[in-house]
Chain A
Amino acid sequence: MPSRTPLLDERAIGRTLARMASEIVERSRGTEELVLVGIQRRGAELAARLKRLIDASEGSNLSCGKLDITLYRDDLQTIGPRPVVGETSLPDLDGKTVVIVDDVLYTGRTVRAALDECADFGRPRRILLCVLIDRGGRELPIQADVVGTSVSTGPGDRVDVFVSELDGRDAVELVRKGG
């Protein structure tokens, strides 16, 4: 039987995102030329929330985009049925500080694909990576600049992120393989 452990509840997610929002502003030294880009699908929802938090505290109006990395995956040749391709809509990235937002950082392959895709859209001055959960297990030399929570996991484990926009509730749960 797999076991399900809550990592963050709704209030903890709210606090974590608020801290991440101020860390992003700190790291990018202000909101000028700052662009948030969320990776479809939950990263895009988290990016939209971070934008609202930053805009509220800084009085800014950040550009926010969505990125679907499906067509940039390195495993398209080996996986079975074609994954569904989502929407990509990006603002101008040239010369900007781009913050890539995702829910979970694991192998780093999604971020690698996102970096490649961003490079096809423009030449950002700088790219930062911001994730709600860092679960370790990297297969590429990639690290996050802003992290909500770190948790150590095994290869059989799963981290489920639920966001109210898509799932009706906010929660992060660790699902461990039984045994």
Chain B
Amino acid sequence: MSTSSLGKDLVGLEPLSAEQILLILDTAEPFKEVSERAIKKVPALRGKTIVNLFFEASTRTRISFEFAEKRLSADTVNVAAAGSSVSKGETLVDTAKNLEAMRIDMVVIRHGASGAAQFLGQRIRSNVINAGDGKHEHPTQGLLDMLTLRDRFKRIKGLKVAICGDILHSRVARSNIWGLTKLGAEVGVCGPATLLPRQVEELGVTILPRIEDAIQWADALNVLRLQLERMEAGFLPSLREYNRVFGVTSERLARAPKELVILHPGPMNRGVEIDSDVADGPHSVILPQVTNGVAVRMAVLYLLAGGSPDWAAGADGPPREERGDR
């Protein structure tokens, strides 16, 4: 456990300063090269044990974190809620305390409840990294989106980024809004009125009612995945209607005043929020986003880890107030 320049945990981009976000993005740059080496491994986190605690399904984020951890030489354990004692009714804190009793250093957590990462970080000594908590934040996704935008545009400040789709339920949208606005970008949100949070403009974003407005306005579109369960909940009439009104299609993009860069956090519903020829087109940075995800997560792990391990106090440790972190 340590207090790094980022603090003990990464729970979101909202609490970070612009300098801290830039530190992560700048640190990610040299880590891109590590993944290009024949031997994709550096010893920076040798001897550190990291638990990936995933209470929700995830392929990309979990594998990306695991690659990042392994490329820094950390030892990793994956815990999925299904098939663990969580399914027997153990609480989140009990699960984590038991893991800590086995002397771990960091926890990467994905959880369906907003605030789960912060809740956990306040109760255990290990560094906690939020890999998505409910509708709250998905900070490493926001960071990799910003790194990808910076690669393309060589700047973030002044960029116009439209986030399209289900803003209401999206932690990716929230992390993007916090991160991008802190770095001086203009953020627009575009989606069906039922899927826009109330008073979203208080976050300093522009509301773009139609996808055509977003395409006219933006330098880049971050197209969110439409979660199919939203339709069942009555937020949308049908997927086909969504595609007809809000789908990002090459016909619509052809009317843009400039070439738009297209981001998507995945997994994509081809033919719903994004058409295949756009997703696979020359302006799509969807796969570079995935590549950058590993570099950004390596940077976060590297920046949070370290300091002298003071495990002597045992897994319970002194109460938080005496520990002096934060």
Contacts and interface: CB of A to CB of B under 8 A. Distances in A.
Interface residues of B, number: 24
Given A81-B4, A82-B4, A88-B30, A71 B306 contact: no
Given A77-B306, A81-B5, A82-B5, A120 B30 contact: no
A72 B44 CA distance: 6
B247 to A, nearest CB: 41
Nearest to B6: A82
A134 interface: no
A76 B304 CA distance: 12
Contact of B42 (A72, A80, A82): A72
B41 A85 contact: no
B306 A120 contact: no
A121 B37 contact: yes
Contacts of B47: 77
A87 interface: yes
B40 to A, nearest CB: 9
A interface, over-half SS: loop
A121 B39 contact: yes
A150 to B, nearest CB: 31
B99 interface: no
A116 interface: yes
Interface in B12-71: 26-27, 29-31, 33-34, 37-39, 41-44, 47
B38 A121 contact: yes
Nearest to A40: B30
Nearest to B42: A71
A85 B30 contact: yes
B309 interface: yes
B303 interface: yes
B199 interface: no
A79 interface: yes
The size class of the interface chain A forms with chain B is 20 to 34
B38 A82 contact: no
A89 interface: yes
Contacts of A71: 34, 42-44, 72, 302
B307 interface: yes
Contacts of B302: 71, 82, 85
Contact of B306 (A68, A76, A84, A121): A76
A77 B308 contact: yes
A6 interface: no
A116 B41 CA distance: 12
Interface string A118-150: 001110000000000000000000000000000
Contacts of B27: 82, 84-85
Nearest to A75: B306
Contacts of A81: 4-5
A57 interface: no
A82 B39 contact: no
A120 B44 CA distance: 14
A168 to B, nearest CB: 23
A40 to B, nearest CB: 10
**Leading 9 A-B pairs by shortest Cβ distance:** A71-B42, A71-B44, A85-B30, A120-B39, A81-B5, A82-B303, A78-B308, A72-B43, A76-B306
8 contacts: A68-B30, A71-B302, A72-B43, A78-B308, A79-B306, A82-B5, A85-B31, A88-B33
